């Protein structure tokens, strides 16, 4: 009997499915119309909010749908089942000098989940989202129809499924075009900056020259320290300095839920200040294995337990580039709140358009913040942040969301009604019912 926990990564909100069906064979998937309740695919549970939850519905566990189907090592074309994780792909292809064209901040996501949320990474300014490199996939609809979808085959369903939050059907397999690399190492430079003006100067210059860019921000700094942080940029290294080829990813585990006091105002303020000052030189260069560069949090298993039994909420927004004032306002509100965490990420999105109807990334500035759940006060703050984003003409990422209002969602994603035409009538989720309800239940 499976002991998997069917919860989101943020562990808020909690939801209880009526049943769980494990999908083992792509040739013999379960009949999706066998249950009276709505169904929803569930991969690795790395969505932060309720887009992977289905309260009193049926979850289709795809974790056993984890086989590679084919790999053209000459062209870099990989076909695999939807439950394969990005970690498994990297283990296979990096020794053969290939890499994922785009990867998010964790490698423990499934291919199906990555497509359903149209994930992005540190190279969005050059590469866009991962789905731009998904050449085709097979989608199972609840009437038993199996459709190969690509930019030219069933193109509308292809665009709806990318970023479609798992609502258009069950992805069985996908084909991804990889990128060649010289080896597993990344040449990295870390630069300390004192505020947002300096960040934007660094980002504009770095995005022209570097493949990967991102910044950590001290989200609890205020006054003349507001917006200070560490800018990180990297490229695939052609030459490996002596002693630099070893992977350095300690496998630690958070054994229990930490108490609330560990994330109270003053410990977190002290942690952020110490992290900022730990780099005493303005610029540091080194060459590292790709693992700690792309996936630093993956070194700590179950790191979400740091936030305690009540869980946490992540807020990732994007606003147009000419609304830098909105980022300032969000950071000021967060500093006043005082309970944000150690994770605050700032980056510029590029102009590469996403293929999905509901894709979140768009040109502008994206800011990601974690908040331990503290009840109504936390929800009030996040609604305040949503209001700033609405006024700026931006959007909040559904993959990270657990509580945005119906009005916010429908403003952030004005194509939602067009998208709803492609929802499989047997599919739904806690997220979708929350942000749309009975306004659109999918195609009949």
Indicate the SS3 state at residue 223: helix
Q: pLDDT tens digit string along 289-316? A: 999 999 988 988 888 888 888 899 999 9
Evaluate if residue 237 carries a pLDDT over 90: yes
Predicted local confidence at residue 388, as pLDDT: 98
Q: Give the integer Cα–Cα distance in Å for 14 and 18.
A: 13
Question: Which residue is listed with tokens 């795809």?
Answer: 62
Evaluate if residue 135 carries a pLDDT over 90: yes
Say which residue, 248 or 320, is predicted with more confidence: 320
Sorting pLDDT into bands at 50, 70 and 90, what band is 343? confident
Q: How many Cβ atoms from other residues are within 10 Å of residue 294's Cβ?
A: 24
Residue range 185-211: mean pLDDT, rounded: 96
- 364: region left, alpha or beta (phi > 0 left; psi from -120 to 50 alpha): left
How much is the pTM?
0.93
Predicted local confidence at residue 443, as pLDDT: 41
Predicted local confidence at residue 242, as pLDDT: 56
Residue range 47-58: mean pLDDT, rounded: 96
Predicted local confidence at residue 258, as pLDDT: 65
Q: pLDDT tens digit string along 11-46? A: 999 999 999 999 999 999 999 999 999 999 999 999
Strands 170-177 and 77-81: what pairing?
A: antiparallel
Residue range 274-295: mean pLDDT, rounded: 89
Lowest mean pLDDT among 22-26, 101-105, 219-223, 327-331: 219-223
Angle subtended at Cα 363 by Cα 429 and Cα 213, rounded to the nearest 5 degrees: 95
Q: Which helix (H) or strand (E) holds 204?
A: helix 196-209
Sorting pLDDT into bands at 50, 70 and 90, what band is 338? confident
Maximum Cα–Cα distance for the chain, whole Å?
62
Predicted local confidence at residue 439, as pLDDT: 60
Mean pLDDT, the chain, rounded, equals: 92
Give 226's DSSP letter: T
Residue range 213-218: mean pLDDT, rounded: 95
Cα torsion at 429, 434, 435, 436 (round to 10°)?
Answer: 80
Residue range 330-348: mean pLDDT, rounded: 87
Cα–chain center distance at 89:
17
Residue range 163-176: mean pLDDT, rounded: 98
Predicted local confidence at residue 251, as pLDDT: 65
Sorting pLDDT into bands at 50, 70 and 90, what band is 261? low
Residue range 345-368: mean pLDDT, rounded: 96
Sorting pLDDT into bands at 50, 70 and 90, what band is 1? very low
Sorting pLDDT into bands at 50, 70 and 90, what band is 444? very low
Residue 284, strand partner residues = 190
Evaluate if residue 4 carries a pLDDT over 90: no
Predicted local confidence at residue 390, as pLDDT: 98
Residue range 401-413: mean pLDDT, rounded: 97
Evaluate if residue 243 carries a pLDDT over 60: no
Predicted local confidence at residue 102, as pLDDT: 98
């Amino acid at each position: 009997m499976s002991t998997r926990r069917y919860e989101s990564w943020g562990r808020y909100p909690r939801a209880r499915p009526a049943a769980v069906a494990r999908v083992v064979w792509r040739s013999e998937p379960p009949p999706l119309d066998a249950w009276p309740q709505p169904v929803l695919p569930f991969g690795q549970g790395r969505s932060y909010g309720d887009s992977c939850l289905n309260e009193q519905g049926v979850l289709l566990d795809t974790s056993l749908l984890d086989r590679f189907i084919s790999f053209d090592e000459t062209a870099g074309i990989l076909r695999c089942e939807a439950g394969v994780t990005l970690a498994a792909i990297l283990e296979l292809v990096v020794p053969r000098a290939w890499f994922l064209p785009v990867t998010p901040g964790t490698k423990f996501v499934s291919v199906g989940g990555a497509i359903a949320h149209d994930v992005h990474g540190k190279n969005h300014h050059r590469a866009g989202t991962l789905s731009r490199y998904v050449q085709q996939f097979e989608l199972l609809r609840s009437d038993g129809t199996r459709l190969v979808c690509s930019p030219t085959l069933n193109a509308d369903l292809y665009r709806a499924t990318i970023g479609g939050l798992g609502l258009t059907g069950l992805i069985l397999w996908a084909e991804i075009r990889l990128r060649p690399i010289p080896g597993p190492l990344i040449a990295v430079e870390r630069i300390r900056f004192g505020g947002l003006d300096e960040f934007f100067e660094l980002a504009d210059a770095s995005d022209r020259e570097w493949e990967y860019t991102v910044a950590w921000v001290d989200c609890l700094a205020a006054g003349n320290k507001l917006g200070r942080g560490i800018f990180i940029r990297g490229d695939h290294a052609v030459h490996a300095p002596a002693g630099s080829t070893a992977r350095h990813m300690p496998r630690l585990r958070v054994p229990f839920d930490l108490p609330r006091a560990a994330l109270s105002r003053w410990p977190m303020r002290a942690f952020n200040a110490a992290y900022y000052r730990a780099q005493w030189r303005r610029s540091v260069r080194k060459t590292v294995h790709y693992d700690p560069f792309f996936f630093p949090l993956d070194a700590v298993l179950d790191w979400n337990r740091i936030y305690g039994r009540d869980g946490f909420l992540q807020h990732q927004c994007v606003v147009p580039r000419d609304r830098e004032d909105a980022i300032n306002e969000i950071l000021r509100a967060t500093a006043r709140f005082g309970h944000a965490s150690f994770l605050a990420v700032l980056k510029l999105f590029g102009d590469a358009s996403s293929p999905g109807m509901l894709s979140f990334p768009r040109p502008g500035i994206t800011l990601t913040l974690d908040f331990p759940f503290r009840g109504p006060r936390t929800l009030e703050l996040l609604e305040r942040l949503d209001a700033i984003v609405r006024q700026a003409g931006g959007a909040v990422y559904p993959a990270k969301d657990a509580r945005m209002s119906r009005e916010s969602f429908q403003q952030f994603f004005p194509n939602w009604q067009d998208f709803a035409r492609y929802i499989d009538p047997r599919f739904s989720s806690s997220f979708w019912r929350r942000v749309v309800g009975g306004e659109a239940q999918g195609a009949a």
